[in-house]
Homo-oligomer: A and B are copies of this chain.
Amino acid sequence: MSLARRDILMGAAALATASSSRAVGQDRRVGFAIVGLGGYGLGVIIPQFANCRHSRLTALVSGDPAKARTVAARYGVPERSIYSYETFDRIRDNPDVDVVYVVLPNAMHAEYVVRAAKARKHVLCEKPMAVSAAECETMIAACKAAGRKLMIGYRCHFEPFNLEAMRLARSGAAGRSRYVVSEHGFVQHDPSKWRLKTALSGGGSLMDMGIYSLQAARYMSGEEPVAVTARASTDRSDPRFHEVEDMMQWTLDFPSGAIGQCMSMYSAAQNHILLMGDKGRIELEPATRYDGNHMWIGKDGREQEIVAPPPGPGKTMFAGQLDHMAQCVLTGSEPIVSGEEGLRDMRIIDAIYRSAREGRTVGL
């Protein structure tokens, strides 16, 4: 019996005991199936189980059987726990899988989250959660109906510099928040990338780097925007941008009067978060890279670099994220970045596209 099914029967407290008793002769870690062996799933996430304390890789889902077998052999996943997209629903019967981690192109998130929930598995889903708010609502409903956790892969909530920036912002280190800048871009060179095909990505830079800009504006301000005003700029003669937007710029009105100034782009490099308050500032640049982020706080005209923020919850942000999901499964608690959090972002993203299209401010 998988942990996923057991927690309905026993509840969180009993679950911890059950989990311990299960330790005899086997790994006590929560089992994850990775759905999608692309650059992020295979290159970034899978190697991170080695850094986890509560999570282990127990299954793979891929459209490429040869690739899946190679990866399975390398990471000790048994052949019986390799699935194709056609056989995926049989994962329901695999007791080694507690969590399905969906690392597919954006437009496939909704389908695989719903199928995972129907297979009675907890779900960790990459960001952006889906390609519309309506899809997010369906995904949340499916997990709720199945009594399963739904977490979104907002890795910055497990990254030491970003965590320290949030803590400092909340503690008033910059005074009253007035202006939050959050800009993410890189030069997308390859016109064949799935991210440039609307049917797979749901949109351009906004659906890729833009989700970091939007998240940061929200977690740095600590507020929910009430209106958005957006502009897009895309050279449609560029083969990379026949379908999706290159550049999106948007402004968020926060209830306190603070303004969020966000940008995403595929034609220049930028990775920057800045909170300006009436007493000082908190700045990260680069802000959200896998490593090598830097951070400064400024007050009274002096800037100080924060070189060693308090460590995050895991050995790496990726391990911290996986283990957070595992702990939510083990204890029955809610993920700090739940499906509702993903839905909030997606509602704003829908409004950003509408505002850019209509050339006017859109209320949220």
Contacts and interface: CB of A to CB of B under 8 A. Distances in A.
Copy tally for this chain in the complex stands at 2
A247 B178 contact: yes
Interface in A146-200: 176, 178-179, 181, 183, 185, 187
A185 B276 contact: yes
Smallest CB-CB A-B distances: 7 pairs: A268-B276, A359-B361, A360-B360, A178-B268, A233-B257, A178-B267, A231-B251
Contacts of A18: none
B263 A263 contact: no
A229 B235 CA distance: 20
A257 B234 contact: yes
A188 to B, nearest CB: 10
A259 interface: yes
Given A179-B270, A259-B231, A259-B249, A278 B360 contact: no
A253 B248 CA distance: 12
Which secondary structure dominates where chain A touches chain B? strand
Interface in A232-288: 233-235, 247, 249, 251, 253, 257-259, 261, 263, 265, 267-270, 276-278, 281
Given A178-B247, A267-B278, 14 more contacts: A179-B185, A179-B249, A231-B253, A233-B253, A233-B257, A233-B259, A234-B257, A247-B259, A249-B251, A249-B259, A249-B261, A269-B276, A269-B281, A359-B361
Given A249-B251, A251-B249, A361 B276 contact: no
Contacts of A247: 178-179, 257, 259
**Interface range, A side:** 20 to 34
A73 to B, nearest CB: 36
26 contacts: A178-B265, A178-B268, A179-B249, A179-B265, A179-B270, A187-B278, A229-B229, A229-B359, A233-B253, A233-B258, A233-B259, A235-B257, A247-B259, A249-B259, A249-B261, A251-B251, A259-B263, A261-B261, A265-B276, A269-B276, A269-B301, A270-B281, A359-B360, A359-B361, A360-B360, A360-B361
Nearest to A252: B231
Contact of A229 (B231, B276, B277): B231
Interface in A337-363: 359-361
Contacts of A258: 233
Contacts of A301: 269
